[in-house]
Structure 1
Amino acid sequence: MDATELLETACEAARAVGPRLRQAFRSRPQVATKRDFHDPVTEHDRAAEDTIRNVINMRRPGSVIVGEEGGVTGEGDLTWYVDPIDGTANFAAGLPFFCVSIAVAVHGELVAGVVYDPVRDDEFSATTAGAWCNGTPIRSAGAATDREAMLLSSYPTPRDLTEEGEEALARYGRLLDSFAAVRRLGSAALKLAHVAAGWADVAYGTRANPWDVAAGALLVRQAGGVYLGDPLVPSDYLAHVGGFDLENSAIAELARRSAG
């Protein structure tokens, strides 16, 4: 199947929810929770996913859709991984760092993906032929060492603290001490898009689902960066720009967990 045509469908579906998300942003929508109070959801997550599913089913009938809100539906050779709002806590509070993430795989191989930032109207897209931001090719290049690098990381999460205790805090302290800057921005997909564009150097997170990272992983790899781990199974992830010295980085210990 033509990856460019699949990407066009993904971009159409992502942009279809842009007006709704921009209108709802900073309206302080009512928030419910899923796993616990750290895992919010709003009516806009569900409505946006419904819109995305409708576009995909109209353009590509006979698809499997794996959505954060709606679970797995359909059957066929194409599998779409959909996160209607990656960074819901940011969206609900009014912090402008969230996105729509859609990726498509053919027989288990990622072939196209889009990460769409509706606030900035930035469209990060990738196929097996390359990676782009708003149609301009991007290159994942930046810092070579920790002391020059910007790290985007949600680690440690509350679950990391529960499972690892003081060691998680000690690891986090080593990252703070080693990297030029560490930021906790709250959207795995958009963090990966920024690494792909060379706007940040390293991104790390734990317990990511395919809808969180599949599109971002393809972006990073096609832009010349490195993504460790399998983005199509729930796992930790680590990505960095091309040329970054991971072996001698303070995050190498966590990188080994991602690679495994």
Structure 2
Amino acid sequence: MTDITRSQRLADVACRAAQLMREPLLAAFRSTIEVDYKRDLHDVVTQYDRQSEAAIREFILAEVPDSVVVGEEAGTSGTGRIRWYVDPIDGTSNFARGLAFWCVSVGAVIDDEIVAGAIYDPVANLLFRGDLSGAYLNGEKLRSRAIADEKQATLITGYPVGRDFRRDGRDAALANFADLVENFSTLRRPGSAALALAHIAAGWMDAAMGTGVSPWDVTAGILILRQAGGRYEPLGLGKAAKGTPDFLCPGYVATGAGANYPTLQRIARDIDAVVPA
């Protein structure tokens, strides 16, 4: 089996896994949903996150027994060479409150190389797929494109949040945010890193920056974006050693093809240079 053939087979599994819970999730969306909290009041989880992850985990381990599944909610299970990173609902706060910007993300890694990924938006019925042959949206080849000048571009970022205030200092973080607001045409905080990366890959958004992501948030999106011609730059943020695989780094800057955004690059470098206390 060639690397591309194996990659395509794993991408098929990722796509089926990502769509597995479409009907139950859509049935729950915009209903009354109880939430629990994990790290803080900004980090929510629902019963549907847990149920979705359990179903996806069981499906992957049955389809590809040579696998380790790492999920956001239930940790790690299985043994094997292929490592899967699963976010059963990326954008849980949006899902719980009825905002239609959330998705399911499934990415596969072999020997620290991302080889397959799927991001599924159930509300819009959009399936983003990446393998070593390219990136696709609902079966059609995907090519990233971005507005060249940041003054006319749209940036997605969740920065800053409370942990950024603690890390960078409140005044510095707010000054960074002000620079981004002033230098980009539009700034949005929609709340799903995976779907943000997919939208940049599709050419619907120009750039994104994140400073608190986990591998299940970005693994599939990194491959999809890069295979579509976009750029993903990891940020270690003083937490990841040099040489750490991109998908294991806690921060990133992502840009569409053709982007040239000096303000974003400067602020990302400044943030990355901060030494955590």
Q: TM-score, normalised by structure 1?
A: 0.96
Counterpart of 2:266 in structure 1 is 253
1:1-26 C-alpha deviation (Å, 9 max, x unpaired): 51111011111111111111100001
Counterpart of 2:220 in structure 1 is 215
**CA shift in 2, pair 1:98/1:50, >3 Å:** same
Tell me if 1:45 matches 2:49: yes
Structure 2 regions of 5+ residues with no counterpart?
235-244
In 2, Cα distance between equivalents of 1:62 and 1:196: 30
Conserved 8 A contact 1:104-1:111: yes
Counterpart of 1:244 in structure 2 is 259
SS at match of 2:61: helix
In 1, Cα distance between equivalents of 2:84 and 2:272: 24
1:203-256 C-alpha deviation (Å, 9 max, x unpaired): 11112110000111111100001000143214111100111113xx21112333
SS at match of 1:156: coil
SS at match of 1:224: coil
1:127 to 111, 127, 131: 131
Tell me if 1:102 matches 2:115: no
Conserved 8 A contact 2:222-2:247: no
Q: May I ask how many residue pairs the two structures share in their alignment? A: 258
In 2, Cα distance between equivalents of 1:123 and 1:214: 15
Find runs of 4+ consecutive structure 1 residues off by over 3 angstroms.
Answer: 257-260
Aligned letter for 1:127? Answer: D
In 2, Cα distance between equivalents of 1:257 and 1:110: 28
Question: How big is the shift at 1:138?
Answer: 1.1
Conserved 8 A contact 1:113-1:126: yes
Conserved 8 A contact 1:66-1:79: yes
1:74 to 78, 83, 99: 78
1:126-156 C-alpha deviation (Å, 9 max, x unpaired): 1111001101111111211111111011011
Conserved 8 A contact 2:211-2:250: yes
Conserved 8 A contact 1:214-1:232: yes
Aligned letter for 2:203? Answer: G
Aligned letter for 1:68? Answer: E
Conserved 8 A contact 1:237-1:258: no
In 2, Cα distance between equivalents of 1:75 and 1:125: 25
Question: How big is the shift at 1:258?
Answer: 7.9
Structure 1 regions of 5+ residues with no counterpart?
none
Tell me if 1:190 matches 2:203: no
Tell me if 1:232 matches 2:237: no
Counterpart of 2:10 in structure 1 is 6
SS at match of 2:12: helix
Aligned letter for 2:173? Answer: A
Conserved 8 A contact 2:135-2:224: yes
In 2, Cα distance between equivalents of 1:259 and 1:4: 35
**CA shift in 2, pair 1:193/1:54, >3 Å:** same
Counterpart of 2:171 in structure 1 is 166
